[in-house]
Chain A
Amino acid sequence: MDFFFGLLQIIGVHTLLGLSAYVVLQTGQVTLAQAGFFSIGAYVSAMLTVLAGWHIIPALLVSATLAGIVAGIVGFPALRIKGLMLVVATIAFGEFIRLFWFNFDYQIEKQGISVGPQGGEGFKQIRFFPENGWSTLDVAIFIWVIVALVMLALWWTDRSRAGAVLRAVGEDELAAQSVGINLTAVKVGAFAAGGFIAGIGGAIYAHYTTHIEHLNFGVMLATFAIAYPILGGLRNVFGTLVAVIFIQGILVEGLRFMGDWRNLLFGALIVLAMNIQPRGLIDERSVKLVRGLFTRDRRN
């Protein structure tokens, strides 16, 4: 049973990662820096619980806020550039943060052993959950409560004026600007919100794996972050969730019996999915199709 709870934890954390990119993608910006913000959440929260002895909830909030602030600062230069330039700039920024942790060395003595992030060796012994007697199920519930809160907040934002503003900027910046939308505020806000959510995800990730190192936060993780919302579709938050379950639950875990061939199929399926459904798995067409199955009135 622990295996399934573990899988639930992974899906939860990756959903947070995907949602963090979802917010930024809604404003029409492609970001590959999410792995960097994720790593800020991971390292900072782990330092707070291990070195400073905090409880996980304040550590999570503080580290996520810090990730959000850093993301907002990145958002400013990002205002001047878009398209490919932004993709490259955010890749570079994400890599910069990763390399920062690669060179970051800070240990203190605790009960006879030195703990703390140790450059290329990574940060070991993040033992908040086992020390406080949380079972795998408790951790899974904790993660999903947070995921549910974040999804609810985003779902509500989507349906409110703020969501309309985000989408307006994403569809056509010039038109959005000419109806009086402050582009700077919207873009920086979206980056900061995305960084905050990625920070929460990173903080949880650090605590359930108990060992983090810089290699966990490379370009591949960043591409997964944007892969979820793009594969799932930007229509609503559930697209991201569906894509995470599809990739982590079915492709990564479900195909384990195929061994080595699984990874080959993984790349091929992404290519195929994008050829068949270029606007994501949950787009206007598939929503209409599912609705048609449940209602008599085929006109909507």
Chain B
Amino acid sequence: MDWLDFFQSITDGLLFGSIYALIGIGFTLIFGVMHKINLAYGAASIAGAYVSIAVAAYVPLPALVTFLIAAIGSGAIAFLIYLANFRFIPLASPLATLMATVGMLILIDEIVVHATDGMPQPYPALFADIYIEWGDFGLRGDLIFIFVLSLIAMVVLMFMLYRTRLGIATRAVAQQPVAAQLAGISLDRTNALTFVITGLLGGLAGAMIGASVGVLSPLLVVPITVKGLIVCVIGGLGSIPGAIIAGLAVGAFENFFLAFRGVTERDMYVMLLLFVFLVFRPGGIFSRSVARD
């Protein structure tokens, strides 16, 4: 093992891990507010990226605008998911919501397959021609762009959650829904807005996946969903800083094993990492002690 290869693979993984962090934040936010899982979230993210390709096919757009359209498209889809899977199903049947989101995942997936005939679509990359070299060590320009963009998205999200009325309402609902309602916060509106916000983040992540992989394919949906859930659990449910750190860590970890053990074994080690966390730190990275009930 070469030290240079080691650092190179870890750095690339860290940069790519920012996408996992965004997806993990989406799962964690929805869990924090509604205490439910939205399994259709990964599908909505990829579908948002598809929306942006569809728009770009009619109107020539700069690549950055494509990213924004992906975010908006995914936000709209997330709102539809809220209406179809969360709004009218009673809180007392969590299994029904879980199942409905699976149905939604299949539905979104099949709409994408139907619209593209199942063919992978090329996605525009940004700054792909830039390559920063430092001796034998190098950094891909498109990955740096993705990393910076997700950092900006995270800062904006944190600002929104802690400094605006909407963010305060969201955190109030997450903490104590009944008290929030008594204080005049509409649960419905807050939940719907949380979904839209996670959708915006997801769409951005979907576009980044397209840009860094080079193509979009419906086959990306299940792996992204699984990785996002793993990140969200390792970071601790409902913890946004946890999801960010866990996302970067999982990215670095998996890229390391990709470089040294090959693509077929890579995901096995990610699953093992999750098991280590579940056994020794079930509350996630930032949990103070093991919770008991």
Contacts and interface: CB of A to CB of B under 8 A. Distances in A.
Contacts of A91: 226, 229
Interface in A99-117: 99-100, 102-103
Contacts of B248: none
Interface in B13-39: 31, 37
B238 to A, nearest CB: 10
A92 B93 contact: no
A100 B268 contact: yes
A171 to B, nearest CB: 12
A273 B95 CA distance: 13
A89 B109 CA distance: 24
A270 B274 contact: no
Contacts of B293: 174
B232 A88 contact: yes
A264 B110 contact: yes
B279 A77 contact: yes
Contacts of B107: 264, 266-268, 271
Interface in A259-300: 260-261, 263-264, 266-271, 273-275, 278-279
B105 interface: yes
A223 B265 contact: no
Given A88-B232, A269-B103, A99 B265 contact: yes
A77 B268 CA distance: 18
B119 interface: no
A199 interface: no
A268 B103 contact: yes
Contact of A274 (B96, B229, B268): B96
B271 A270 contact: no
Interface string A18-35: 000000010000100000
A85 B278 contact: yes
B254 to A, nearest CB: 13
A270 B267 contact: no
B89 A274 contact: yes
A77 B278 contact: yes
Contact of B271 (A25, A93, A219): A93
A270 B102 contact: yes
Chain A, interface size category, equals 35 or more
A269 to B, nearest CB: 7
A267 B37 contact: no
B264 A99 contact: yes
Interface string B77-97: 000000011001110010111
A227 B271 contact: no
B230 interface: yes
Interface string A212-233: 0000001110010011001100
Contact of B106 (A84, A88, A260, A263): A263
B100 A270 contact: yes
B274 A88 contact: yes
A96 interface: yes
A80 interface: yes
Q: Which of B31, B95, B225, B232 has the most CB of A within 10 A?
A: B95
B237 interface: yes
Contact of A271 (B84, B264, B265, B278): B84
Given A85-B282, A278-B89, A92 B103 contact: no
B237 A85 contact: yes
A263 B103 contact: no
B111 A223 contact: no
Contacts of B106: 263, 266-267, 270
B106 to A, nearest CB: 4
Contact of A25 (B95, B225, B274): B95
A274 B97 contact: yes
B260 interface: no
B89 A275 contact: yes
A288 B114 CA distance: 41
Given A231-B99, A270-B100, A279-B93, A263 B226 contact: no
Contacts of A99: 264-265, 267-268, 271
A87 B35 CA distance: 13
A96 B103 contact: no
Interface in B228-261: 229-230, 232-233, 237
B157 interface: no
B271 A278 contact: no
10 contacts: A77-B278, A77-B279, A91-B229, A92-B230, A92-B275, A103-B264, A230-B98, A270-B100, A270-B106, A271-B85
Given A88-B233, A226-B99, 18 more contacts: A80-B282, A81-B282, A84-B232, A93-B271, A95-B267, A174-B293, A230-B96, A230-B98, A263-B106, A267-B107, A267-B110, A270-B103, A270-B106, A271-B84, A271-B100, A271-B103, A273-B103, A278-B90
